[in-house]
Chain A
Amino acid sequence: MEVQPLTDPAPSTIWPADDARRAHYEQSAVFMDTVVTIRVPRPPSTRRCAEDVGRAFAWFQKVERRCTRFNPGSELMRACAQVGTPCAVSEVLFEAVQFALAVAEASGGAFDPTVGGALEEAGFDRNFRTGMTHRHEPPDGRRPTYRDIRLDPDRATIEVRKPLVLDLGAVAKGLAIDLAAQELAAYADFVVEAGGDMVARGRNDSGEPWRVGIRHPDDPTVLIDAIEVSGAAVCTSGGYERVRERGAGHHILEPRTGRSPAETRSVTVVEDTAMAADAMATAAFVLGPVAGRAFLERHDAEGLFISPSGRHAATAGWRRDWK
């Protein structure tokens, strides 16, 4: 099984108060270099639930296999290798790239999936679990941007117009979470969590809304905030935990400069889908607390920014319950 560091650090998740723990079904597996957990409180049938959860997990494998940049043979990397030629791709990859480009456009390039080449240059060329490195020649001249990618929705093709490496790290994990959640749509209550990013629906084992803790970026023992979520996605992008080996900085790069933003330590976004929440958290992280907050509010998303000093700022609509 191939893996890829879809990089987002985990805010601690508060699992239900177990004093009222009743029958639930829970399963964990490692995908995308992180632990994925699906929990369904009170399933009508454990056997049936196990099958449904198995299908939900299968989406993680499908998304990962197609969208990884750590396997030269992946669909993503094959599309990147055919410079100047439209490349027919799967629905999964096409939609992931299309959404990534929409966020790039909406954020004025603060979010840019073509940051893959810059990530490799910065030393993020290694699969964190296998230790294998993947390195491509840096592009000549001007740094590529999202405008160097052309999509044809009718033919479902992707064309890269100049040599570049696409990095779908900020959308692929969220997409897999959302597809898994879609697979579980028949259930009123469940949570799909991958490395601190999650979709929570309905109620927890105790019949209460799911509680999600947002931890301090530098001190996992300190909770900055705890929110209640029922029917929403919560994703965090942060510049901690995966520090690059060479030079200063972390794994989220400002696409236009190739440097890591230092103003913010983490951004947590609540949205309808994990794909939107994750990508918007990354964009807001790059934009910083002022422009990032305006960006989130413009798109009717809510977010919490934590600065290196620990101070935090939030969108006007940030509250502690999303029910």
Chain B
Amino acid sequence: MTAGREPGGRHPARRAGREPAEVPARRPATTQPSSRRAGAAPKGRRIGTRLAALSSAAILSIYAAGYLRTQAAEQQALAFDPTPTPGGGVTTSTPATTPTTAAGYRDGTYVGLGKSRHGDIEVTLVVQAGRIASAQITSCRTRYPCSYISGLQGQVVQRQSTHVDRVSGASDSSKAFVSAVTAALAQAT
């Protein structure tokens, strides 16, 4: 009944007793290193069948089924539009070394990224003498023109905060802008 059934046997791992041995050898056996709690003191708690362990087993089981590898053709037909942004050339900024001033923010140049479902906005924030000197939109990958929200840049400087007006009709972009400024400012505090 499943039209999109995988060729070559559906659940090889399950048939084989769910051994994760079919995971290609180059891949580590777990999704994440288990170092998260390595340094933590024993908590004296009951650790029964941890749900996290069940979830890890589920992920490996799916992965080991070889499901994806049998569908290379479908993968090539993937609908998403790849817009790779190899790093390096987008923006540069100077390291902030000046200690925090009385006004609150640490001098320097900070970059923050805000996301919306229409695209990303990158803001470069300059702090001088502890005050926000500028908040420039340095990258606007939204579907809509960035001019809709360009007025918000001045408001950040005027109000010395992330509390800017929302722009009617561009509320998602406004939120992404605020998120970007918040992320940048978080580095300056």
Contacts and interface: CB of A to CB of B under 8 A. Distances in A.
Interface of A: 1, 10, 12-15, 17-31, 33-35, 37, 41, 46, 50, 53-55, 57-59, 61-62, 65, 75, 78, 87-92, 95-96, 98-99, 102-103, 106, 129, 153-154, 156, 174-175, 178-179, 181-183, 185-186, 199, 201, 205, 213, 215, 220-221, 223, 226, 230-233, 270-273, 275-276, 279-280, 297-301, 316-317, 322-323
B47 interface: yes
B173 to A, nearest CB: 13
B78 A26 contact: no
B86 A99 contact: no
A22 B68 contact: no
A178 B62 CA distance: 11
A123 B116 CA distance: 24
Nearest 10 A/B pairs, CB to CB: A24-B87, A18-B111, A29-B80, A95-B58, A221-B162, A276-B55, A272-B52, A19-B95, A276-B52, A91-B65
Interface of B: 1-2, 4-6, 10-11, 13-14, 26-28, 31-37, 39-40, 43, 45-48, 50-56, 58-63, 65, 67-68, 71, 75, 78-88, 90-96, 108-117, 120, 161-163, 175, 178-179, 181-183, 186-187
A241 B175 CA distance: 12
B43 A300 contact: yes
A233 B83 CA distance: 25
Nearest to A180: B31
Nearest to B43: A317
B132 to A, nearest CB: 13
A168 to B, nearest CB: 12
A54 B163 contact: no
B43 A316 contact: yes
B162 to A, nearest CB: 4
Contacts of A181: 31-32
Given A19-B109, A34-B117, A213 B51 contact: no
Contacts of A275: 55, 58-59
Nearest to A46: B86
Given A19-B109, A57-B78, A231-B33, A279 B51 contact: yes
A305 B35 CA distance: 24
B28 A317 contact: no
A105 B5 CA distance: 30
Contact of A13 (B26, B45, B183): B183
A201 to B, nearest CB: 6
Nearest to B161: A221
A95 B56 CA distance: 11
A35 B110 contact: no
Nearest to B96: A19
Main secondary structure on chain B at its contact with chain A? loop
Given A21-B87, A46-B86, A91-B67, A29 B54 contact: no
Interface of chain A: mostly helix, strand, loop or mixed: mixed
A89 B84 CA distance: 34
A91 B14 contact: yes
Contacts of A232: 32, 36
A57 B1 CA distance: 26
Given A21-B87, A299-B48, A300-B37, 15 more contacts: A13-B183, A14-B187, A17-B111, A18-B111, A19-B93, A19-B95, A20-B95, A25-B85, A37-B115, A91-B11, A179-B62, A186-B26, A220-B175, A276-B55, A298-B46
A199 B163 CA distance: 30
A137 B65 CA distance: 36
Contacts of B4: 65, 75, 90
B32 A233 contact: yes
A18 B51 contact: no
Contacts of B71: 62
Contacts of A220: 175, 178-179, 182
A231 B62 contact: no
Contacts of B81: 29
Contact of A28 (B62, B110, B120): B120
Contact of A221 (B52, B59, B95, B163): B163
B62 A92 contact: yes
Given A58-B68, A91-B11, A272 B6 contact: no
B66 to A, nearest CB: 9
